[in-house]
Structure 1
Amino acid sequence: MIPNPVIALSWLAWLSCSLALPRGNGTRPGSSSAPSVVVYPTSLPHTRFSGRPSTTGAVSILPIGTGIPSNVGVSPTATSYPSNGQLNSPQPGPFIPAGGAGTSGQTPVYRPQSDFDFQSLALALYQEYIELDLFHDGLARFSEADFTAAGLNPEDRYLIQFMAEQEVGHATMLTNILGPAAPKQCTYNYPYTTVQEFLDFCQKLTRVGEAGVYGFLSHLDSRESASLLLQAITTEARQQMVFRQFEGLFPMPVWFEVGVPQSWAWTLLAPYISSCPEDQTRLVWQNFPALYITNQPNPARTNGASAQAETLGGGINSLKSSGIPPDQLCFNSDNVGVNCQPAITRNRSQPLSYPGRQVSLNWDAPGNPIGPNNSYVTATTAGAPRFVAWVSQLNVTYSPLTTTGEKQGTTIQPDVSTYEGDPAVNGTMFIAITDSDPYLTPFNLSSINQHVLAGPAVYQAG
């Protein structure tokens, strides 16, 4: 298989702000006319950072404002278009309707146009680099026999290898968009010890990357950069589905994929970054205190909803497969609706979670060092814990939190649908502890950040 040439921006094009995409010419990768890719180390340690940070806290600049209002009403022009199915403005050309962004003939420029753009795209690059390392690490850490025992053959392993190669392209594209200050690859630490735990960690981490980009993509000032990133993140969505299939989960149990704010993605990503190069570009995004789901549904179990304390840490809350009795592992079952060996699709008779299920939670206090070189600090501006926010598909739903002790509590999984026939709480989704229940929709979800006390956590609803 020979992939298409990587489309990349040249440094000269970035500096001169001119058109930066080379014309395709059908050449093979590695030929003299194909753009080069980023250089990245292939042998890195996978241990936690143990030194002292030279810099502490997210990047910031003074003066800092008081925040963005959560709701200032509807723009006067937002409802002015008649939406009557007719053409209501003169056409700029034959067969062309009036309107649209970036449709007036200017030469596209693929570079950040604001601090928001740079910080969002830099976050995406951090994500691409960890996935590049993660896929390689799993292939190197586990033997062919380990993968075979987990139901994956050499072609399956090559698919993981090819997904790592995709990340090289994604990292190259974002690096060239960002320019000389683009973040570099770091060193990482991972919690998994078995192939099954590796697959679950991959499917949850790729969901974080996908959802994190969906959350900011439509807000970028650089529409040109958004168009390229969209083409990368649709590939990542397919990666997430593949890992669900490798894990024996139904590949796409939702009608709509969820998007989350940048600070949510950074909170979930940062704990697995050990250290970064000395001159690494720092991020502005918040790190919230970690949220632990102590009875996180476990896809490795025949009855996933019965899991108790079977995760490998907070935040992503990836599954722990060791210690489960063999007769309770769905991988060992031959029964249709129970078996969870890798497959194109698995429709489990007993769902991983369900409306009315009691979910047990505990969370950290703020002020903990986290992330690259332990140089970021968890923080929150929220008040007392009162609700659990369930963020999935098009919905932000809240359930009351019952506190059961210091920084711990329970809640009941809500019974809510996106549309009739589509349970909103499903798939690999997100929850957080909040101090109130503001009404929010996917486009303004970042307004929830000031109310988040802890989280987010990845909840494996299905």
Structure 2
Amino acid sequence: MLSFLLLSYSKSVRQSIQKISNDEASHVSFLTSALQAAGVTPVQACKYSFPYTDLKSFLTVSQILEGVGVSAYLGAAASIKNGNYLTAAGSILTVEARHNAYIRFVNGLSPFPAAFDTPIQPRGIVTLAGPFFVSCPTGSGPGLEGFPSLTISGKLIPGSTLKISAKNTTGATYCGFLSGLDSTFTTYADGECKAPSDGKVGEGQIYVFLTSEKSVTDATTIAGPGIIETENAVMNPIDTPTLTPASHEPENATDLAIGI
């Protein structure tokens, strides 16, 4: 709790983050039971490593992952043929979107930066999630192979230059930008491409692919996606406390011992 107060977050922010954690545990329990009821053996939990060193970086990683979660459910929706399963997935998706909106707001960003969220197909999701996997029990790792990861530097301003690199760029001739339900492309050469100026890139979490054609499919993707944020409307962080760190009385010793 003390870390939240030192970074000007109130007690309610920590409580809300804990509620998000509880929701995610409920989703895992529900999906596990649903798979078992369908006669499918659920995968076992893997070991993960997340790149955060403090509360601020934890919230940044959380924002990205919640956004990826929304895109994952959207990308999988077309493959769900059973109406009951689709409804259940949709019920989880709407909660994931609220989680993402809340964390964006806490981070000082618009909770609803665009009119549409962005669907990403399964191999793209595996590409984004893969770096967080440390090890998995036999048979429990991702069943799909991801693409090479992207590194992006630069600001997503129309006409600006973005430097984009990957372990393998052979055959890459375009940068594909996915924003909401729109896609747009610029030429990729010498490790660079221009940010689009056609108005098809909105605000929020944008996905960038290296492709061999002006389309984003498993067949045309060379690397990616990578993620870059474009945001014009900055919000004030939610729940700025009136307490100062010096006046905070921890509810119990655990608050200080854990440091969260």
Same fold (TM over 0.5): yes
- Counterpart of 2:50, as a letter, is Y
Name the structure 1 match of 2:162. Answer: 359
Displacement after TM superposition at 1:268 (Å):
0.6
| Offset from partner CA, 1:351-392 (integer Å, 9 cap, x none) | xx4211211111113xxxxxxxxxxxxxxxx95111000011
Match of 2:179 among 385, 388, 392: 392
Partner of 1:432: 209
Give the alignment partner of residue 222 of structure 2, picking from 453, 456, 461: 453
- Normalized against structure 1, the TM-score is what? 0.47
Of 130, 136, 149, 2:6 maps to 149
The correspondence of residues 17-416 of structure 1 with structure 2, limited to 5 A, is 144-179=1-36, 180-278=40-138, 280-295=139-154, 305=155, 353-365=156-168, 384-403=171-190, 409-416=191-198
| Distance in 2 between residues matched to 1:216 and 1:383, nearest whole Å | 28
Conserved? CA contact 2:46–2:140, under 8 Å: no
Q: Which amino acid aligns with 1:414?
A: P
Amino acid at match of 1:264: G
Instruction: Quote how far apart the aligned CAs of 1:460 are.
Output: 1.0
Cα displacement (A) at 1:157: 0.3
Contact 1:435 1:451 in 2 (8 A): yes
Identity score, percent = 23
User: What CA distance in whole angstroms lies between the structure 2 residues aligned with 1:254 and 1:146?
Assistant: 31
Equivalent pair of 2:45/2:140 in contact (CA under 8 Å)? no
Q: Partner amino acid for 2:147?
A: F
How many residue pairs match? The answer is: 228
Q: CA deviation at 1:282?
A: 4.3
Q: CA deviation at 1:417?
A: 3.3
Q: CA RMSD in A?
A: 1.7
Query: Hey, what does 2:247 align to over in structure 1?
Result: none
- Partners of 1:187 and 1:434 in 2: how far apart? 31
2:218 partner SS = helix
Using the alignment, how far apart are the partners of 1:149 and 1:241 within structure 2? 23
- Assess if the C-alpha contact under 8 Å between 1:387 and 1:401 holds in 2: yes
TM-score, length of structure 2 as denominator length: 0.82
Where does the alignment leave 5 or more consecutive residues of structure 2 unmatched? 232-260
Determine which structure has more spread, i.e. the larger CA radius of gyration: 1
Report what 1:301 is aligned to.
Answer: none
Considering fraction of residues, name the structure with more strand.
2
Name the structure, 1 or 2, with higher relative contact order (CA <8 Å, separation 6+): 2
CA–CA separation in structure 2 for the residues paired with 1:227 and 1:255: 22
Aligned residue identity for 2:62: C
The residue that corresponds to 2:256 in the other structure is none
| Counterpart contact for 2:104–2:110, Cα < 8 Å | yes
